[in-house]
Amino acid sequence: MNEQSSNPRLIAVEVLTKVSGKGAYSNLALNQALKNTNLARVDANLATNIVYGVLQNLLLLRFWLEPFVRGKKIDNWVEQLLMVSLYQLEFLDKIPNHAVLNEAIEIAKMKGHDGTRKFVTGLLHAILRKGVRDTKIIQNENERLSVKYSVPIWIILELKKQVGNEKVVSILESLNEAPKQSVRVNESKWTIEKAKQELVKKGLMVENSRVAASSLVVSKGHVSETTFLKTGEIMVQDESASLVVESMELNGDELVLDACAAPGGKTMQIADYLETGKVTALDIHKHKIKLIEENALKCGFEGKVEAIQLDARKAKDHFKPETFKQILVDAPCSGIGLMRRKPEIRYEKKQQDSLNLHRVQLEILDDVSSLVEVDGYLTYSTCTILDVENIQVISEFLKKHTEFEQVKVETKLKLHNEEKSLTIYPDDYNSDGFFIARMKRVR
């Protein structure tokens, strides 16, 4: 057994180094690291807690660390080790300070030289002696919110324009709560009640989703430890994401196009609603098409799903006009609604990314619009909460395409608002942030 395979803090340092230095996705890097270990569940949970805790509080941890580092240039892994240690000292009360220091010093010795060990030891002792700065010393309100909640200022400013100060603070506070573990039931195999019974038999604690009709929330246990994901009775899918297909109000006999389909969660949900109908799933990448086909086979939908490698912006060159009764454009987006589940997204995305994506999103809608038959529907969704990628895209599309009219999104959520589109913010139901709009082709 090597040191890394049994040391949750070292695993956290290694994963964070990959995320910050090589642009790795936190969930994939962490899953891979844990797969290669023989950690007890409690230690795997600690590694997970530390990785997500550091990423969720990155700007705050840097603000705390800054006076002690004083502009010294330090290696990436050393910075991650300091962040990991500082996170434990400030957020994980059950871990004694001496245990945090001892582990940090051991990792510094293992990965660095004697100078590194002395630097880490001295810095952590100084933090314990002097304490960390209070964010109240930051006079500018937006900067203070940015540091306190570790969300870049540009996102805060955009959201303030959309929803005002009070709602922004509520959103920011919700982001660092643990993401819920939710699954969508494949109702062609199991009823919701049957799924609940089977999951409870495996020792999981399960409840119906408040958000989506076909979703369950797992509050205790790990669905990944059951066989049901592999055999297609359930799929991991956030409650908000499950609302998209629910809002399409499928009858079962339609020809449907899922224009941006990978990895295929919504394609499978569409297929679940279909009886004599068929769904065509597009994606630009060959390996993702293979993934969609594998999911269809697993779920028992191979006769209902056709996957084609194609850029959605070239769809009208491939299909005849008015081929589909319903089209879903689950558009490529900044993913800002996923900040709780994928915390590093907030630091990677820039405002210009949203503006660039706005153009891509419009191009896709423009291209597929002619493929919707008259009296058919075009559904647009994103996992972002920024208006520039949501209502501004729809507004611009409708100005150009007068053959479409926006209709109200109807789902299990009985919202008493005047908006035709549906925006779910992360604090509304503690689910992912999402946007859904529906348009009917009237001529």
User: What digits encode the pLDDT tens for the residues 66-104?
Assistant: 999 988 889 999 999 999 999 999 999 999 999 999 999
Rg (CA), the chain: 24
Look over the chain and give the mean of its residue pLDDT values, rounded to a whole number. 94
134 is in an annotated binding site: no
pLDDT of 312:
96
pLDDT of 413:
78
Map out the domains of the chain with their CATH numbers. 4-133 (1.10.940.10), 139-175 (no CATH), 181-236 (3.30.70.1170), 239-441 (3.40.50.150)
pLDDT of 418:
79
The whole model's pTM is what? 0.93
266 is in an annotated binding site: yes
Report percent pLDDT > 70 for the chain.
98
pLDDT of 5:
61
Asked whether the beta carbons of 97 and 128 are under 8 A apart, the reply is yes
Q: Is residue 87 classed exposed, middle or buried when 0-12, 13-18 and 19+ CB atoms within 10 A define those classes?
A: buried
Choose, from 383, 385, 393, 437, the residue flagged as catalytic. 383
317 is in an annotated binding site: no
pLDDT at 442 over 50: yes
263 is in an annotated binding site: yes
Question: pLDDT band at 414, cuts 50/70/90?
Answer: low
pLDDT of 1:
36
Tokens, residue 126: 């100084």
* pLDDT (average), residues 15-38: 89
pLDDT at 326 over 60: yes
Spatial distance between the Cα atoms of 359 and 152, rounded to a whole number of angstroms: 23
264 is in an annotated binding site: yes
Helices and strands: H and E segment counts in the chain: 19, 12
* pLDDT (average), residues 137-161: 98
300 is in an annotated binding site: no
pLDDT of 137:
97
**299 included as an active-site residue:** no
Q: How many residues does the chain have?
A: 443
pLDDT of 185:
97
Spatial distance between the Cα atoms of 146 and 152, rounded to a whole number of angstroms: 6
Q: How far is CA 165 from the centre of its chain?
A: 24
Which H helix or E strand runs over 122? helix 114-130
Check residues 4 and 148 and name the one with the higher pLDDT.
148
Each residue's pLDDT tens digit, 182-217: 999 999 999 999 999 999 999 999 999 999 999 999
